[in-house]
């Protein structure tokens, strides 16, 4: 059985695309955002530093923003 991080990495979209879409989609549930963060944390590459910061900002943003 695959873990959530492996499931995200195995999709046809790259993690970068998934994060970009998640940042734009204001209706996305927090659980999905947190799973994306978990997937980013699983891969500690320097390229994901910026994505983690953007996703953290999205998670903390007010719903009306």
The C-alpha atoms of residue 48 and residue 54 are separated, in whole angstroms, by 10
Tokens (6 digits) for 28: 């996305």
Q: Residue 4: pLDDT band by 50, 70, 90 thresholds?
A: low
The C-alpha atoms of residue 14 and residue 22 are separated, in whole angstroms, by 12
* 5-27 pLDDT tens trace: 554 445 578 889 999 999 999 89
Average pLDDT over residues 58-63: 79
The C-alpha atoms of residue 20 and residue 55 are separated, in whole angstroms, by 9
């Amino acid at each position: 059985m695959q873990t959530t991080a492996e499931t995200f990495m195995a999709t046809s979209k790259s993690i970068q695309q998934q994060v970009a879409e998640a940042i734009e989609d204001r209706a996305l549930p927090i659980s999905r955002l947190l799973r994306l963060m978990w997937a980013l944390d699983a891969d500690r590459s320097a390229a994901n530093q910026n994505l983690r910061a953007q996703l953290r900002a999205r998670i903390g943003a007010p719903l009306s923003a």
